[in-house]
Amino acid sequence: MRKLMWFSMGFAVACMVGAYLLSGAVLYAAGACLLLLALIGLWLFRNTDIRRKAAMLCAGMAVGLIVYQVYDGVYLQLARAVDGKSVAAHIRATDFSYDTNYGVAVDGETELNGRKYAVRAYVNSKERLSPGDVIEGTFRLRFTAAGGLEEVTHHRGEGIFLLAYPTGEQQITAAQGKAWYYAPAYLRTEVLRVIGRIFPADVQPFVKALLMGDTSELDYVTDTQLKLSGIRHVVAVSGLHVSILFSAMYLITGRRRILTALLGVPVLGLFAAMAGFSPSILRACIMQMLMLLAMLCNREYDPPTALSFAALVMLTGNPQTITSVGFQLSVASVAGIFLFSEKLRMWLMASQRLGRWDGKSIPGRLARGVATSVSISLSATVITTPLCAWYFGTVSLVAAVTNLLCLWVVTFLFCGIILACILGAIWLPAGSVAAWVLAWPVQYILGVAGVLAQFPLAAVYTQSIYACVWLMLCYVLLAVHLLSKQKRPLVLACCMVLGLCVALLVSWAEPQLDDYRVTAVDVGQGQCILLQSQGKTYMVDCGGDYDETTADTVAAILLSQGIYQLDGVILTHYDRDHVGAAAHLMTRVPTLQLILPEGDGKQEWEPELLEVYGDVPIYAAEDLQLSWGTASITVYASGDLSTSNESSLCVLFHTEKCDILITGDRGEAGEVRLLADHTLPDLDALIVGHHGAASSTGTLLLEKTKPETAIISVGEDNRYGHPSQTVLDRLHTYGCLVRRTDQEGTIILRG
């Protein structure tokens, strides 16, 4: 059966090659060559185990390349052909709608030349859409996989290959009745409603996330604490939840194989459907069903083969699943457990370590529990850490401790929530009592996560190149350890800790060597500028495409430099793309000063900002100057509150070696007013106003300040068309070196 594992590995590698590297007819050619190589290998080396495995690996790669290209060239070609076009679409909702920053979104399906495609539609409607509702209208379609007009998105890994944006009016027709195949969606909604009725308000978001994977109500602080403490996976419905559910059913049925299978298959299928058939839970369900099948047939269950089969089934149905972060993390964690957990558990249970206690005593049972929990957690982490570092830019250092303290509670809590929901649906008071009891372990988990996340070294961030080097060094050391005959785990651990200390020391010390440092953070379509000199750090604006992502990005930059408190935050005006992430950021990196403008949007954003800041802010009704050492920041008051953009504060950052001006979103009229009221120096750098809009960065400003470098903070392929070609031509005319975050990413000026 292990032949299937090698074949599946080759198939997965082929899908990855197709998704990330190659495309087109070259895949057919590569597949044919590999298939021929596999056949030759099987014919010539039938009795050699290693060569037979290599042949199966080649065969899997060959079949995978061909399947990927057929799927891409036949099924996806129609969706790719409508990319960027406005078409009359007929979309049937397959789930309930949900709110976004830009309106309402709903998942559904549409037809193109008789073929059905999953689509995520953004609809101009304030009414809640239900499964079966039909939306008709004109939409601009965006293809989410490779070969489209824009960059690929994460939706392709979920099987959603089209995004639909309205370009006109839409007509919504309500569904006639409730079709049976939408029952999981309605059941999920009913479960969430029951949770909302029986659980205390402060634990409802976590309970909904733990049971159904619905994280929409988790606040930023809680979500961040779960991430930093390394236990965020418990609210992303995955194999952990499936294994808990299966174990509970196994106990309920008295460990009867047939009864467990009769109950387990439909329950697992229903649970997967309620969770939206996410790749991680689908993988776990397939593996559990294979275990049930092995039990019924009195056959040995081989976990690696089951994992391989599950991955093969999912990739055959949609080769793009290989790009799903959830799928990659799910497979990687299980693979890590298979590879390392038993060896690590045996090492921990040696007589000179945890095995010194009697296995039947309470200390012995606790020792076994600790050894099992630590070995599973560390084993999964070994494989998933590079993925977390790549996708999330964060590696939790306290994850093993958090999982040890919390996972045993999660097991009982998950089953308890299900029981409480059943009781609440039957008799509300009984469910409420059960929910009140369960609220205590929820508070325990949140408390543990909150405490551990507050540790200064709870996590490291890949924003620091030194942290990345340390991570690579750790894997080199691990490889040497695994290959060496005489293994010394304590020496390995000490080397990793010493390397971490060196990486952190250099990461924190290196910025202090600069006289000044100006960082234009790549936040997409928004702006966030960090000003650093002589040990002080100020931030001007904090907003981007997504508030929480922007806050995470900026926090990672600051924390990776050992900056746990800002000296000041200056917000130029109240547009979301300049202020939307500021409150989130200040929950992680507080500030000593908060300087706010007057003008439009103050009433909307001020309460959120002040709640986090917790003190009286400074309102820049007049010019302000902040000085320290030989550096200073001058904040120029707006003087014009007619519009949000024209009310922007302007900021001049001055050191002995640089002068840098930030004008927010002021237009040319605001720039003229600034020049009339103040004498500005020649600039080393200008943060181009309004993300390069044609109405800003006028000729008079460029004539008076003569900036050497012009930095444009702008999102790639943004809907506003920024930066304007008019502004780019103007900047080149005045000899400015133009640098753009959409082309370079985060930009750092230092001297």
Question: Could you read off the pLDDT of 385-408 as tens digits, one per residue?
Answer: 999 999 999 999 999 899 989 999
3-state secondary structure 491-509: HHHHHHHHHHHHHHHHHHH
Which range, 48-52, 264-268, 293-297, 394-398, is most confident?
A: 394-398
Between 58 and 145, residue with greater pLDDT: 145
Instruction: Residue 528: name the closest of 546, 501, 509 by CA.
Output: 546
| Span 691-710, average pLDDT | 93
Helix (H/G/I), strand (E/B), else coil: 711: strand
What confidence tier does 43 reach under pLDDT thresholds 50, 70, 90? Answer: low
Rounded CA separation 604/601 (Å): 5
Model confidence at 340: pLDDT above 80: yes
One-letter amino acid for residue 338 of the chain: F
Model confidence at 683: pLDDT above 90: yes
| Span 685-704, average pLDDT | 93
Model confidence at 160: pLDDT above 80: yes
Q: Are 604 and 610 in contact (CB under 8 A)?
A: no
Rounded CA separation 633/649 (Å): 12
Give the model's pLDDT for residue 432. Answer: 95
Give the model's pLDDT for residue 539. Answer: 97
Give the model's pLDDT for residue 742. Answer: 92
| Span 640-666, average pLDDT | 87
Q: Are 620 and 569 in contact (CB under 8 A)?
A: no
| Span 186-209, average pLDDT | 94
Give the model's pLDDT for residue 26. Answer: 59
Which range, 1-10, 13-22, 55-64, 527-536, is most confident?
A: 527-536
What confidence tier does 101 reach under pLDDT thresholds 50, 70, 90? Answer: low
Q: Are 625 and 635 in contact (CB under 8 A)?
A: yes
Burial 228-257 (b: 16+ CB within 10 A, else e): bbbbbbbbbbbbbbbebbbebbbeebeeeb
Cβ contacts of residue 461 below 8 Å, gap of 6+? 393, 394, 395, 467, 556, 557, 559, 560
Q: How many residues are present in the chain?
A: 751
Give tens-digit pLDDT for 221-243: 999 999 999 999 888 888 888 88
Rounded CA separation 663/646 (Å): 10
Give tens-digit pLDDT for 512-564: 888 999 999 999 999 999 999 999 999 999 999 889 999 999 999 999 999 99
Give the model's pLDDT for residue 345. Answer: 86
Instruction: Residue 305: name the closest of 318, 320, 286 by CA.
Output: 286
Q: Which residues pair with 661 in a beta bridge?
A: 652, 686
Pure H helices in 354-398:
362-392
Give the model's pLDDT for residue 357. Answer: 79
Separation of CA 254 from chain center? 40
Rounded CA separation 189/95 (Å): 10
Distances (CA, A) of 699 to 669, 670, 673, 694, 705: 11, 13, 14, 11, 10
Residue owning tokens 């957990």 = 341
Rounded CA separation 447/454 (Å): 11
Helix (H) or strand (E) run with residue 627 in it: strand 624-628
Sign of the alpha-carbon torsion through 120, 122, 128, 130:
negative
Give the model's pLDDT for residue 247. Answer: 86
Separation of CA 179 from chain center? 34
Rounded CA separation 728/528 (Å): 21
Separation of CA 161 from chain center? 19
Rounded CA separation 559/459 (Å): 9
| Span 265-289, average pLDDT | 88
Segments making up each domain of the chain, as ranges: 2-79, 82-177, 235-323, 465-511, 514-750
Give the model's pLDDT for residue 85. Answer: 92
What confidence tier does 275 reach under pLDDT thresholds 50, 70, 90? Answer: confident
Q: Are 135 and 123 in contact (CB under 8 A)?
A: yes
Give the model's pLDDT for residue 24. Answer: 59
Q: How far apart are the first and last CA of the chain?
A: 61
User: Parallel, antiparallel, or unpaired: how do β-strands 394-396 and 459-461 relate?
Assistant: antiparallel
Out of 175-179, 243-247, 372-376, 566-570, pick the least confident: 175-179
Rounded CA separation 634/654 (Å): 8
**CATH number of the 514-750 domain:** 3.60.15.10
Helix (H/G/I), strand (E/B), else coil: 388: helix
Q: Are 579 and 543 in contact (CB under 8 A)?
A: yes
Q: Are 9 and 60 in contact (CB under 8 A)?
A: yes
Look up residue 620 and give its two tokens: 């820049």
Rounded CA separation 395/384 (Å): 10
Give tens-digit pLDDT for 452-463: 999 888 999 999
Percent of the chain with pLDDT over 90: 57
Give the model's pLDDT for residue 45. Answer: 58
Model confidence at 126: pLDDT above 80: no
Model confidence, pTM? 0.90
Percent of the chain with pLDDT over 70: 95
| Span 95-115, average pLDDT | 87
Sign of the alpha-carbon torsion through 219, 220, 221, 222:
positive
Give the model's pLDDT for residue 743. Answer: 93
Rounded CA separation 663/671 (Å): 8
Which range, 258-267, 387-396, 579-588, is most confident?
A: 579-588
Torsion angle, CA of 294/414/323/273, rounded to 10 degrees? 70
Q: How many CB atoms lie within 10 A of CB 477?
A: 16
Look up residue 326 and give its two tokens: 């959830």
CATH level 3 topology of 82-177: OB fold (Dihydrolipoamide Acetyltransferase, E2P) (2.40.50)
What confidence tier does 116 reach under pLDDT thresholds 50, 70, 90? Answer: very high
| Span 38-67, average pLDDT | 72
Torsion angle, CA of 351/352/354/359, rounded to 10 degrees? 30
Give the model's pLDDT for residue 700. Answer: 94
| Span 619-645, average pLDDT | 87
* Helical pair 303-317 and 279-296, crossing angle rounded to 10 deg: 130
Rounded CA separation 227/230 (Å): 5
Phi, psi dihedrals of residue 529, rounded to the nearest 5°: -120, 130
Model confidence at 42: pLDDT above 60: no
What confidence tier does 118 reach under pLDDT thresholds 50, 70, 90? Answer: very high
Mean pLDDT, the chain, whole residue set:
89
Model confidence at 296: pLDDT above 90: no
Instruction: Residue 649: name the closest of 729, 590, 563, 569 by CA.
Output: 569
Give the angle subtended at the CA of 466 by the CAs of 460 and 469, to the nearest 5°.
95
What confidence tier does 28 reach under pLDDT thresholds 50, 70, 90? Answer: low
Q: Are 274 and 187 in contact (CB under 8 A)?
A: yes
What confidence tier does 499 reach under pLDDT thresholds 50, 70, 90? Answer: very high
Give the angle subtended at the CA of 21 by the CAs of 20 and 23, to the nearest 5°.
100
Give tens-digit pLDDT for 622-631: 999 999 999 9
What confidence tier does 738 reach under pLDDT thresholds 50, 70, 90? Answer: very high
Give the model's pLDDT for residue 721. Answer: 87
Model confidence at 41: pLDDT above 70: no
Distances (CA, A) of 627 to 412, 441, 533, 593, 624: 56, 50, 11, 13, 10
Q: How many CB atoms lie within 10 A of CB 32?
A: 13
Look up residue 603 and give its two tokens: 């009433």
What confidence tier does 350 reach under pLDDT thresholds 50, 70, 90? Answer: confident
Give the model's pLDDT for residue 557. Answer: 95
Rounded CA separation 691/727 (Å): 10
Rounded CA separation 395/375 (Å): 18
